[in-house]
Amino acid sequence: MAAFGFFRLGRLLLAVTATSLKGPALAKAPELPQTAPVPQFNQEATPPSPADIPVPEPRPADAPEAEPPQNEQPQNGQPKTQQPEPPAIAPQPPEKPAQAEPPASPPAAPPNPAEADKKTEQEILPDPRSAAIAGKEMPAEELACRRRLKSMGVDFEERKPEHDTAVGCSIPYPVVLKTLGKSIAIGPETELNCQMAEAAARFAASVIQPAAKAEFGTDIKSIGQASAFVCRPRHAGGKLSEHAFGNALDIASFTLSDGKEIDVGPTPPQKHAEFLDAVRKAACGPFKTVLGPGSDADHSLHLHFDLEPRRNGGTFCQ
């Protein structure tokens, strides 16, 4: 019995020893690999950093290089498309890639060789917007603009892209306005880019209509425009008009719901002048350029509003 008991005890001890050995052995095995891989990952992450250490210096040099190309772009005529879009484009990420690719070679190539001499004579860089070409699909921002027009009750139609390579006129996605809202008609044929159309519609609702009610106690029924999109060559040494991009609207008259007409001119009746002055002052801001009677001979019979992109969002109101 004693021998048998001792034998069993021995087997138990062996079993316990084996278990205890296996236990630590298994525990140690996983621990070693775990610690090993961790440093390796760290090393993988670090390898790029040593390489970056020398890079920091070259990067500053790369940044300046990126800017010069922009300066060079105006000369080539191709990149210009990207510069003008930002202002309008903050909301137009899809347009940038679409337009940047096509204008790269086709549009810039033809005008450059033919008019290289003219450029140097005029010393005015071509407007980057002249290279804007409509893509196969309307950009999201253009679609959104049209939804906003509809929400304001604006009646409008789509128009084929305007693109005159000789003069430089361009509207990739023009619209023709029938009204500036639910209650104000506009005519004749008012072709604009959607951004300008929207600005005009908002201005009509927020400024023109309230000003008419305040001054005349009635609504504006219609607006007579003198110029919207107009593709005319720039004067020697001058730049293209905002009208060449459908980015300007000239208003010559306002007609009240009772049929009375308020004409823009140098010497309007007092009540008309008060209304016109109120509209003109309020236009500076919503529009980036505001001209009219007194500005110069060309604007004695209409108010000129446009969205010309200016540095720092500045305005020119005279």
Interface ranges with Zn ion (CB under 5 A): 248, 250, 304
Nearest CB to Zn ion, comparing residues 127 and 250: 250
Q: How far is the CB of 250 from Zn ion (least distance, A)?
A: 4
95 or 250: CB nearest Zn ion: 250
* Size of the chain, expressed as the number of residues it contains: 318
Cα of 9 vs its chain's centroid, Å: 87
Task: Select the residue whose beta carbon is closest to Zn ion and give its number.
Answer: 304
CB of 227 to Zn ion, least distance (A): 5
194/251 with CB nearer Zn ion: 251
Query: For residue 111, which phi and psi values (nearest 5 degrees)?
Result: -65, -35
Nearer to Zn ion, 108 or 248 (CB): 248
Strands, DSSP E only, in the chain?
A: 156-158, 162-163, 170-171, 174-179, 185-193, 220-227, 248-256, 261-263, 289-291, 303-306, 316-317
Judged by CB, which is closer to Zn ion: 133, or 248? Answer: 248
Query: Measuring CA to CA, which residue among 157, 304, 284 is closest to residue 225?
Result: 304
> 3-state DSSP helix/strand/coil percent for the chain, to nearest 5?
50, 15, 35
Report in angstroms how near the CB of residue 302 gets to Zn ion at its nearest: 7
Q: Which amino acid is at 301?
A: L
Q: How far is the CB of 140 from Zn ion (least distance, A)?
A: 29
Q: How near is the Cβ of 246 to Zn ion at its closest, in Å?
A: 12
